[in-house]
Structures are given as C-alpha cells and as structure tokens.
Amino acid sequence: MKTIIVKSPGGLNQLKVIDRPEAQPKAGEILVRWHATSLNYHDYLVATGGIPVMDGRVPMSDGAGEVIALGPDVFDWKIGDKVMSLFFQGWLEGRPTMMKMAALSGEMVDGFATESSCVLASAVTRIPDNYSYTEAATLPCAAVTAWRALMVEGKIKAGDSVLIEGTGGMSIFALQLAKAAGAKVYATTSSPEKADRLLSMGAEAVVNYKEDERWGKTINRMSDGGVDHVLDVGGGSTMRQSIEAVGIGGHIASIGILGNGRKGEITFPKLFFKHITMSGLAVGSRKMQEDMVKAIDISGMKPVIDKSFGLEELKDAFEYQATGKHFGKIVLEY
C-alpha cells in the first residue's frame, strides 16, 4: 500500500513515498480505499513546513473513496459505500470546541495521501449523487468552508450580493453556491483570462486587484453601496479592502491568509460605523457537510477541476499550486 509521508522539518523534497501494510479496522472503524484527494493551502503549509507536523505524518485533508472493510459495531456503513472525509474528524455537530477540532486531518492526525486507511465510522459522510471520487475529493475543505461562510454564518438569501477573492477552490465554490442561492457575485483576480472565466460563470463584475489597489472602494461603488457578504482569503493582505467593499450591516467571513496575510492593519472605525459582522472560521462540522451534500444533490452543482496528478506526483502538484495559475481545484487520482 503506497503512502506519502512528510519527513521533519518539512519541505517539498521531504515528501517521501513509502510502502506499508494495510491496516485492519478496529471497533467503530471502517477501512477505506482512497481514490482521490485535492490540494488546499493548508496542505501546502503542512508539506512545506509552514505548519510543523509530527515526523512521518501522512498529509492531505481531503479524501474520497470506497468502504472495503468494517470493524465490529459498525452499522451505518456497508462494504462498497462511497464516502468522503471530514476536515475535523471529531467535529460532528454543534459549536466548535478544542476537543472537537483536535483530530485535524493531515495535520494532527494522518490524512489521505495513501491508498487506504482506517477512520472512525463517524469521520466520513456519503458523497453527492452522481459524483466521481475525484469530484467528491474537492469538497470536504474548500466547499464546506464556502457553505459555512455563506449559508451558516452569513445566512445568505436571494437578492444578496457576495464578493469572492481570487480563483482558488473555495472562492469558486462560493461563486457557485451564491449563484444557486440567487445572489449576485462580484470577484477579484489578477488575470484577464481568469476574469473572463469568472464572468462566464455568472459573476456580475470582476476587478483586477493588481491594476486597482483600492479595489474595495471599486467593488463598493459597483454594488451600489457595498456587498452583503465578503469571503476574505488574504487576511492582513486583503482585510482593509474587504472592509471597504462590504456594505452597511454586511458580513465578512475571514477564511484565509494567502500571500503575506498573517498580520495586518484594519481601520476600526469603519468596522463599527458600518455595523459589520465578522466571522473567523475554519471549515465546518459533519452536519454542515451533510447539509451541503443534500443541497448539491438538488442543485446538481459540479466542482471546477483545474488539473489532475497521480499520488506519487504530489510534489509536482504542490509546485503547480504555488504558481497560482490554477482556476478551481487541483486533484490527485490514485
């Protein structure tokens, strides 16, 4: 059974392919033959040592595959069921707690860059109807994050307006979910080619953030006083403009730290004079994932997959991710 591990202290050259025996499920566990995973910025940080992990950790927080064995006392699944992983394997429902978030896939516990592994029967959900394993593997991190930001925290409704930043997997899922909910979507990118693709997917307008440093004010003006929802992916590098872009009484979901976004400054008076609600969030619970799957079954939404690699090409996939050329998700199929 081929498995990829991260050797300490991390770095793409420290991704090693090993062979190890297939595990057998214990009580309450299932054995899954994983067929696909997808790349997230969190996985890139783990692989490059930006997030230190235990020596020998199996990376990748997304996985989709087939149940091939059941441990004792497992009744919710049967052999042959198609399942996908949870980002937080212990967060089943309710509010997040440190204990619920302790089993973070690909960081605190082994992830899914492996041909098979055992997980708790509660640590997976079914995949959407008519989805391949590859399509399903794009969902647990990026799509659930977008779902939570818009549906759970933002309580989006038809007629609302949304700003997405960039063209990574989460942002593209947010565009698709917002359009399905009847919202208008505005977007930013630095690429004219990507701008055209965003417009073809239904974006109202796209602003090139490299050509317009005050893109937040531009979005505010385009949307007649600001958008109702912003999904901020840059943290300190984008938050000031996100605050400019949002309308009075709007909601900003703080999701990422792309670029140099770990630290930054914000203009606090605009936070309270615009009556902005801000939510810091990291992915979501099993219940959120299950609700999202039901919505996908109804809408027929499909992920946008940019490029596919093999399991042993994980280093190449991360190098491609680092170029920023992708539109949507990068996947591994095995």
The CATH number of the domain holding residue 262 is 3.40.50.720
Residues 103 and 62 in one domain: yes
CA–CA distance, 306 with 282 (Å, rounded to integer): 23
CA–CA distance, 270 with 91 (Å, rounded to integer): 34
Residues 174 and 238 in one domain: yes
pLDDT of residue 264 exceeding 90, the answer is no
Model confidence band, residue 238 (pLDDT cutoffs 50, 70, 90): very high
Tally of domains in the chain? 2
Residues 203 and 276 in one domain: yes
Work out the end-to-end distance of the chain between its first and last CA atoms, rounded to an integer number of angstroms: 11
* CA pseudo-torsion sign 170, 172, 176, 179: positive
Model confidence band, residue 277 (pLDDT cutoffs 50, 70, 90): very high
Residues 116 and 166 in one domain: no
CA–CA distance, 285 with 147 (Å, rounded to integer): 11
pTM here is 0.96
Q: What local confidence, expressed as pLDDT, does residue 143 receive?
A: 98
Mean per-residue pLDDT for 8-31? 97
What six digits make up the tokens of 106? 């690909």
Does some domain include residue 310? yes
Does some domain include residue 292? no
Residues 132 and 148 in one domain: no
Which among 236, 265, 280 is the end of a domain?
Answer: 280
Model confidence band, residue 261 (pLDDT cutoffs 50, 70, 90): confident
Does some domain include residue 205? yes
Residues 186 and 101 in one domain: no
Q: What local confidence, expressed as pLDDT, does residue 265 receive?
A: 83
Residues 156 and 117 in one domain: no
Does some domain include residue 287? no
Q: Count helices and strands (H / E) in the chain.
A: 10, 15
Residues 243 and 199 in one domain: yes
Mean per-residue pLDDT for 128-136? 98
Mean per-residue pLDDT for 28-42? 98
* pLDDT single digits (tens) 180-217: 999 999 999 999 999 999 999 999 999 999 999 999 99
Mean per-residue pLDDT for 2-14? 97
* pLDDT single digits (tens) 145-176: 999 999 999 999 999 999 999 999 999 999 99
Residues 125 and 147 in one domain: no
* CA pseudo-torsion sign 243, 247, 249, 251: negative
pLDDT of residue 259 exceeding 90, the answer is no
Cβ neighbours, 10 Å, residue 72: 9
Model confidence band, residue 260 (pLDDT cutoffs 50, 70, 90): confident
Does some domain include residue 85? yes
Looking at 115-168, list the stretches that DSSP marks H as alpha helix, in order from N- to C-terminal side: 133-136, 144-147
Look up residue 85 and give its DSSP letter: E
Boundaries of domain holding 8: 2-138+303-333
Residues 146 and 94 in one domain: no
Does some domain include residue 296? no
What are the distances in angstroms from CA 113 to CA 15, 141, 273?
Answer: 11, 15, 47
What six digits make up the tokens of 251? 């909601």
Looking at the chain, list the stretches that DSSP marks H as alpha helix, in order from N- to C-terminal side: 41-48, 133-136, 144-147, 169-180, 192-200, 215-222, 239-245, 268-273, 286-299, 314-323
Q: What local confidence, expressed as pLDDT, does residue 149 receive?
A: 98
Model confidence band, residue 266 (pLDDT cutoffs 50, 70, 90): confident
Does some domain include residue 298? no
* pLDDT single digits (tens) 102-120: 999 999 999 999 999 999 9
Residues 80 and 15 in one domain: yes
CATH of the domain at 114: 3.90.180.10
Residues 180 and 236 in one domain: yes
Does some domain include residue 115? yes
